[in-house]
Amino acid sequence: MRIFNQKVRWLAGSFATLTLAGLLGCTTLNPAKSTAAASSAAPIGDSWALLNFTKVDSVNPIMGPSTAGKFTDPILKQEVLWEEKDVFNPAVVVKDGVVYMLYRAENKVGKFSKTSRIGLATSTDGLHFTRRKEPVLHPDNDVHKKYEWSGGTEDPRVVESEDGTYYMTYTAYDGDKARLHIASSRDLLKWTKYGNVFTRAAGGKYVDKWTKSGAIVSRYEADGRIVATKIKGKYWMYWGDAQVWLATSDDLIHWTPIEMAAGEKPPVPLRAQAITMPDLKIVLPTREGKFDSDLVESGPPAMITDQGIRLIYNSRNEPSFGDKNLPVGTYTAAQALFDINDPTRLLQRLDNYFMRPELPYETTGQINQVVFLEGLARFKNNWFIYYGTADSKIAVATRPVN
């Protein structure tokens, strides 16, 4: 049995107790209800957050490296074991009663001794997956090669449009810089690449900046579909992996980052990649003294709820100016709530993480101390949240929909 309790304070000044209980082979993440009222501008306590997830330790990790996946790489012109090194950071969609997982996989060949490609696996129970032998999105001899080779295609997030087209935001990595790209598909197998999401924005000034992690605002339907939804005539996307920024689009392909108004100042001193993009409006900043001190990064597609837009996000800790109780570089997960009428306006934010690395496959791997949440599915009256562990394997946690 693994149990610990930690007091946490909500942003609006209310208090709750976060309890992580390991019971009967499971780890339960169960923050207690708040005992004080939040501000009138935001929901009370934690009622807006999606909590009480249980890590399914009986099957976790549900996916790891494999030598079964083989394909002839079009650039190397040789057979590659494309997922033999690590698999992690999955996106998921539900289609016709089946969970489709698109996940990042790395091999052991190439300039960096690894190249990332995106694979596809399916499941009828959300726990046991069957993989396709070949990747569905990978670097190729196309116009995008200079951005995708030889680092690869990484970290997908997938939503559906009203007409049933799937759109995948993913990271194109050339070995020097990460860039946020997008592709579309009707069947989740064959994908059309469109390149950088910011190609047409601001005279192209963001094309050669470090950009990634696009979480498009969507409806999570009862049948499991994740449908991109316009607000005030625009699609919206939370993105970034230093601070969290925001962008809008008319067509889900071409996006415009939201910049600060004249005279507006960033809410925190700029660090890391944020220094290179000083005009962007930060909508979710890092916080000194906390678990999300060093980095915040969008998780699964943002969810429209009755109380606002819920964003599950990943974060990294630096003990020297963050949470001194977490090891250096620890990735944990938390949640934030934004105004449905103004997606730039932060209403609420958990004051502590709701998931952290605990088990050996989460604490030890390619990158130690990592849980990285990227896929969320409503399936069989449960929420399934899928996450990368130590940048090496994939795991799942669940909770009832109620």
Per-residue confidence (pLDDT) for residue 1, from 0 to 100: 28
Beta strands in 128-176 (DSSP E): 130-131, 152-160, 166-173
327 phi/psi in degrees, rounded to 5: -60, 155
Per-residue confidence (pLDDT) for residue 117, from 0 to 100: 98
Alpha carbons 327 and 291: distance in angstroms, whole number:
10
CA angle 77, 80, 83 (to 5 degrees): 145
Alpha carbons 87 and 398: distance in angstroms, whole number:
20
Written as six digits, the tokens of 148 are: 């995708």
Q: How far is CA 66 from CA 69, 127, 197, 374, in A?
A: 7, 17, 32, 21
Per-residue confidence (pLDDT) for residue 4, from 0 to 100: 29
Asked if 184 and 167 touch (Cβ cutoff 8 Å), the reply is yes
Tell me which residue has tokens 């046991």.
128
Written as six digits, the tokens of 91 are: 């996106």
Return the closest-CA partner of residue 347 out of 118, 142, 45, 63. Answer: 45
Return the closest-CA partner of residue 236 out of 220, 214, 221. Answer: 214
Strand partners, 163: none
Return the closest-CA partner of residue 280 out of 265, 260, 305. Answer: 260
Eight-class DSSP state of 10 = -
Per-residue confidence (pLDDT) for residue 181, from 0 to 100: 98
Beta strands in 126-266 (DSSP E): 130-131, 152-160, 166-173, 178-185, 192-196, 215-216, 218-220, 226-228, 235-239, 245-249, 255-257
Residue by residue, pLDDT tens for the chain (402 residues) are 233 233 333 333 332 323 323 323 344 453 333 222 233 356 768 899 999 999 999 999 999 999 999 999 999 999 999 999 999 999 999 999 999 999 999 999 877 779 999 999 999 999 999 999 999 999 999 999 999 999 999 999 999 999 999 999 999 999 999 999 999 999 999 999 999 999 999 999 999 999 999 999 999 999 999 999 999 999 999 999 999 999 999 999 999 999 999 999 999 999 999 999 999 999 999 999 999 999 999 999 999 999 999 999 999 999 999 999 999 999 999 999 999 999 999 999 999 999 999 999 999 999 999 999 999 999 999 999 999 999 999 999 999 998
Asked if 145 and 115 touch (Cβ cutoff 8 Å), the reply is no
Helix (H) or strand (E) holding 145: helix 145-148
Eight-class DSSP state of 148 = H
Q: List, as one string, the DSSP characters of 253-305.
A: SSEEEPBPPTT---SS---GGGGG-TTBPPSB---TTSTTSSEEEE-SPPEEE
270 phi/psi in degrees, rounded to 5: -75, 135
Rg of the chain over Cα atoms, rounded to whole angstroms, equals 20
User: Which residue type does 179 have?
Assistant: R
Tell me which residue has tokens 């934010």.
349
Q: How many helices (H) and strands (E) does the chain have?
A: 2, 28
Alpha carbons 83 and 210: distance in angstroms, whole number:
25
Asked if 157 and 216 touch (Cβ cutoff 8 Å), the reply is yes
Tell me which residue has tokens 């470090």.
210
Q: How far is CA 201 from the centre of its chain?
A: 23
